[in-house]
Structure 1
Amino acid sequence: MIEAVGLTKRYGDKTAVYNLSFQVRPGAVTGFLGPNGSGKSTTMRMILGLDNPTSGHVTIGGHPYRKLPNAARHVGALLDAKAVHGGRAARNHLLSLAQLSGIPARRVDEVLGVVGLQDVAKRRSKGFSLGMGQRLGIAAALLGDPQVLLFDEPVNGLDPEGIHWVRNLMKALAAEGRTVFVSSHLMSEMALTADHLIVIGRGQLLADMSVTDFISANSADFARVRTPDTEPQLREKLTSALTEAGGHVLPEQDGALRVTGLALPRISDIAHESDVRLWELSPHQASLEEAYMRMTQGAVDYRSTADQKAGLQQPLPPGAQPPMPVPGQGQPGWYAPPPPQQGGQPFAAPQGAPGQAPAGPYGAPVAPGAVPGGPPANPYAAQQAPQAPPVPQAPAAAPAPPATAPAPASDPTKPEDAR
């Protein structure tokens, strides 16, 4: 079992992980989720003793990693599949790791067979594809037949068959009573693989629960109801009846109704009592991806801005010249994502009062049409239209040398992303 208590890691004034506590229990696949820069890799490095926490501690089976006797026989890990000497053959790479840990050489051939690399065992790893490198990293993690396994993006670069194989491998390892801790950004794969989830955002714990409970707690299930399209009066009649029964009804763009607050049998009874024919009555449950997006929407640091191409097609007012954006802080066109919380201050999800504009990650209202947490809308988008080409004229005199353009303001150094 892996147990973290009050883990905090700071790099100067940058807080990568703050007061993080959780347990990873044996016999289940535990997914480790969070946006980019949320501190997942830093947490895994602290579990494996590669980084020292600023405060707090983490143990594996009740002991810090560095105090485990022959740690490779107890813990296997894949953090970076590229951490291999490119000039060394796959088998020789595994053989060197086995010799360092006192593992019999026959185990090398066993794990090569498990990951499907037995036919390329004598090839140098620098010629491996990304997926083959991932398989070699998994083989290294399995080499000591450990009881605790950590994988960081194990399906990166694998084809569908390889992803299916990794999924079944992890389930089989957990079924043997091992502790399996997996970090991934593929929500669909986590939904099929993980039994339990630990979700962090900006280095702080957001959720620690089963996959089923996580989806239920971060999604709104509803029933989808459709009446005959040729009889809109039936839809209105059913809407009134469902509302009177305590349901909440919202129309959808395709003419269906989204109903919450009532069970499907109750909706069917109300439709029957109201003499309304139904073309569709189906339940909808949010996916893990939808629940994850809803949970972490306030902890995302890097957001895309809206495309402003449409504004470039609008004509300029007579005599107006579009301003020239200058790269640099405070200038039009400049944008740096808001940094993660500094100094280890707890992160609180934004709360918005009814009737107020939606809030960004730091509580500031977002203008209509803007992306929450993103930069303000470009005020010059409606003016930046391409100029018509000038009419060519005969040169009257040699042109004067162009004036030296002011040097653009330098982009200030941004804090390094959390690992």
Structure 2
Amino acid sequence: MTQPAPPVSPPPAPRQTLQSVLRRAHLRLAFVAVTMAAVSLIVVAVIALRAYSGNNLNLLARSLGYTVEAALVFGDRVAATQAIELIAKDEDVAEIVVTDSRGRPFAAWRSPAASEIARLERAVADLALPGPVTVRVLHDGIVVGYVEVRGQGHQFFGFLLGGVGGILGCVAVSVLGAYVSSKRVVRSIVAPLRALADVAHAVRRERAFDRRVEPAAIAELNQLGDDFNALLDEFEDWHNNLRNENASLEHKATHDALTGLPNRLQFEARLKRALGEAMVTEQRVAVLYLDCDRFKEINDCFGHDAGDAVLIAIAARLRTQLREVDLVARLGGDEFAVMLAPMRELASAARIAEDILSGMTLSITLADGRTVATMLSIGIALYPDHARDANGLLRAADAAMYRAKRARPGSWQFAEGVAGPA
């Protein structure tokens, strides 16, 4: 029975950047502040306009009452209608109704509302403006009729549209100003933090401990950068010390402490690598095994310090007599080894051995002024002539060196035999 596959967790949502959060908060704050201010101004203006409209309608109704007073007294409906029409066409009113003292219709005027805009204006006026204003028409102190006036709302509607447009315009200008201001704020806050993050990433990924954070204009961010730079200084010192210690340990592990030459471990590793390359390129590699003759006598007669001085002098002479691509190492005691790669001919290895022996003819001067004469015996083995691996080459060269030492100290010999198939 197959087990159901484990549920796959959804990938984490991308995190917002500090720049986007600050910019969005800045724009939101500016938008809310401008909108609240604009709405507050419009509300105050609407209240003021409502009171103004009520007073205006009341004054218009009183004026109409004076105008139709005579028509009501004499019952002249036509004159009343003409009078209210003459006044109403220049005023922002929707309807005028004149009634007699008993409330019966006497004259009326209504503004035509043919367009949709006019109907919308009247609907807005009914909601926002005060209701119809009614005044009494008096003649010698006696009520002869009533005048009722209802507002059109055209002016109010225009003001409302202008207010909304003003809000939108203010919001647009404020958003633009907030955007420009937010860019400056973001630049002054985010840029130093981004620079600090870049330096931190470079240190973590590339080990670039020499990077530093530039000074910032904001005091807190500048202090943060200074603290981070101080921390980087400590990390850089620690890293340099650790690198130096590792390099020193690596050098000690692969070099001879007395002569500074590579030791047996490094010599064998590089010899194996050179043999691998020679197998591909079909070239020769030569190994010279060197042993210091009469070294025990030097230690016994002159002391171990003199023996160490002799080994150091031999190492220095070997360095000067070989090419940069050749490798010379101290294998231990008074034994040295030289790797010649690539080596074209057997005669070239023999010539180099002769040069090394010639360089040892001069006596070595000790620190106390005494001189010591020494000689080297050398055995030579070549790949692939005498062996096909590092250990085989070293054994063959070592055996050749002992044959040279027994035959005549201070001479050299090639290894015997030919290597078998690999």
Tell me whether the two structures share a fold, i.e. TM-score over 0.5. Answer: no
**What TM-score do the two structures reach when normalised by structure 1?**
0.17
**What TM-score do the two structures reach when normalised by structure 2?**
0.17
Point out the structure with max Rg over C-alpha: 2
